[in-house]
Amino acid sequence: MANERPYIICLMQTSVDGKILSEKWGDKPAIKKLAGKFEEIHENIGIGAWIVGRTTMEKDFTDFAKPVFKKGHHEINREDFVAKQSADSFAIAIDGGAKLGWKEPTMQGDHVITILTEAVPDAYLAHLQDIGVSYIFAGAEEVNLNTALKKLRSLFGIETLMLEGGAHINGSFLNEGLIDELHQLILPIADGTIETSTLFEIDPKVKKEGATLLKLERVKQIEDDVLWLTYKFK
């Protein structure tokens, strides 16, 4: 049930053709200024817990750092590790394969929680415990989002969570009916490429039938010709 998990708000910015922020947009000052709208609105909404997929985390935050494995022999039970339960804010990564490299327990001042599967190496868990990164298990070999979200609420008291990409993680949440609200910033940019990811992408092998209906709650034009659309999910 919804009240067993956090309320999920998806915040993303796209081009007018639905493509999510890409380095292919170039580095003109006007483009960089538009790209900064995301953080501006993130702060405006003011939710202290945000979640992204592994690809987004390593590209935008951990700078592709390699995973660290503690030397020596370790046998660690597959029990959730809560390093800091009462943090004011949380940076959460979905990383079932333990591919992210963590060097400290915070990301931009937010306490790090990583969502893993039970198949990850003991030496990886030992390193996370050493540096104080919290982790939870959400499946044997594949991450179960429902399990992960229930644990985020029960173990850390997270009642509202900001989902911020990438396309496949957004698609996974959408496919499972786990998004309550969408805030889409439409930038005055036309991407035009075929390969750039869109807002939601779902593997055809797991895609559930039909499209998802939304209800438009608000349309707001903000500075620099940006549209801020707010939808509720039916």
Check which CATH number belongs to the domain holding 163 and give it.
3.40.430.10
Express each pLDDT in 93-103 by its tens digit: 999 999 999 99
Length, in residues, of the chain: 234
**pTM score:** 0.94
The alpha carbon of 147 is separated from its chain's Cα centroid by a whole number of angstroms, namely 16
Query: What confidence category does residue 3 fall into, taking pLDDT thresholds of 50, 70 and 90?
Result: confident
Distances (CA, A) of 192 to 28, 37, 158, 165, 202: 17, 21, 38, 20, 21
15 against 22, higher pLDDT = 15
* 73 pLDDT higher than 90: no
State the average pLDDT for the chain.
95
Q: Which of 233, 141, 148, 147 is nearest to 182 (CA)?
A: 233
| pLDDT at position 6 | 98
Determine the Cα–Cα distance for residues 38 and 182; give it in Å rounded to an integer.
13
Number of domains in the chain: 1
Overall average pLDDT of the 79-93 stretch: 93
* 84 pLDDT higher than 90: no
Determine the Cα–Cα distance for residues 11 and 221; give it in Å rounded to an integer.
16
Determine the Cα–Cα distance for residues 3 and 159; give it in Å rounded to an integer.
9
CB-based contact 75:37 (threshold 8 Å): no
* 177 pLDDT higher than 70: yes
Query: What confidence category does residue 209 fall into, taking pLDDT thresholds of 50, 70 and 90?
Result: confident
| pLDDT at position 2 | 56
| Domain limits for position 227 | 2-233
22 against 31, higher pLDDT = 31
| pLDDT at position 158 | 96
* 22 pLDDT higher than 80: no
The alpha carbon of 222 is separated from its chain's Cα centroid by a whole number of angstroms, namely 24
* 211 pLDDT higher than 90: yes
Express each pLDDT in 112-157 by its tens digit: 999 999 999 999 999 999 999 999 999 999 999 999 999 999 999 9
* 24 pLDDT higher than 90: no
